[in-house]
Amino acid sequence: MAIGNFNPSPAELRLLPAYCGPRAQPWGNDANRPEVRRWLQVFGGDYIHMHHYCEALLRLHKARTEADPDRRRGMYQVALNNLEYVRERVGSGFVLRAELHVLLAETHAGLGDLGAALAEARRSVQAKPDYVRGIALLADLSVRAGQAAEARRALEAGLARKPQARRLRLRLACLDGRAARGCPRGYPAPGEGRR
């Protein structure tokens, strides 16, 4: 039996980051195990909550590929519950803080709550202003919400910090209608850029 409800199959565990491996074992809290000591050095006291984080990652992965809308919604809800658990318990220096907000944003978007998704994406960028994944998600959600100006501000600020970030450059080109392909959902068609 793994820790808590986090009990992935070997195939599911291969989809997750390495730090999830020890949390899927009954000895996942044993600081005498080298596998646990390694991640305790990374996460400190927050390591104790990582099985909830890993469960959320697994549920999000499953939700993205689930065809049945009720099952998909249920997976997003389980992910949200686990992510909120983590947010309420980890310290202010949690090393995955920006990613946690991205995951919360993706989960809220999956549940159809664009306002909450945008708020979490903004928190991700506040937590780590050069986190490309958070900036890109904030831009994507802003475009979906009809807030092209916010998307542009986020992308331009991100590119000022990470000028070579292809993901951000592509989105800015999409926003301007200059990208021939590869634009995320909601961006203008080529030649229909927003100013």
Structure tokens at 152: 């542009």
Quick one: angle between helices 97-110 and 69-89, nearest 10?
A: 150
pLDDT tens per residue across span 127-158: 999 999 999 999 999 999 999 999 999 999 99
Greater model confidence, 185 or 63 = 63
pLDDT for residue 6: 87
Among 100, 89, 107, which Cα is nearest to 47's? Answer: 89
Among 20, 162, 166, which Cα is nearest to 86's? Answer: 20
pLDDT for residue 188: 82
pLDDT tens per residue across span 58-102: 999 999 999 999 999 999 999 999 999 999 999 999 999 999 999
- Terminal CA-CA length for the chain: 55
pLDDT for residue 168: 98
Cα distances (angstroms) measured from residue 41 to each of 35, 45, 95: 10, 9, 11
